[in-house]
Amino acid sequence: MGPKTTRLVGLLEAAEYQLRAKGETHWADWLQRDIGWLREGDTQGLRHFLRAFGGMGSLNDLPDGPAQLSECYDLAKEILREVEAG
């Protein structure tokens, strides 16, 4: 796992913890899956995480969502671009 992915995993772990503390298990479980994939080196974790954004009822629609989600989103997009560029 590269330094950017390591950073992303740490941010996602913090967000998952915050969501569980608020009883938001759906999105916490979603992030937990992404974290697992990323630790295994599977880019599915990036793609799955990014699908959580946009549209009604998405992760970024949570009224008191974790503050680091914007950074997570940007970092995931950056890592995915690098992976796809080869």
| Mean pLDDT for back-to-back runs of 10 residues, the chain (86 residues) | 96 97 96 98 97 90 88 97 93
In angstroms, rounded to a whole number, what is the distance separating the alpha carbons of residues 19 and 33?
14
Residue 48 corresponds to which tokens in the numbers above? 């799955």
What is the per-residue pLDDT for 70?
92
What is the DSSP code (8-state) at residue 55?
Answer: S
What is the per-residue pLDDT for 22?
94
Whether 79 and 4 have beta carbons less than 8 Å apart is answered as yes
In angstroms, rounded to a whole number, what is the distance separating the alpha carbons of residues 33 and 40?
11
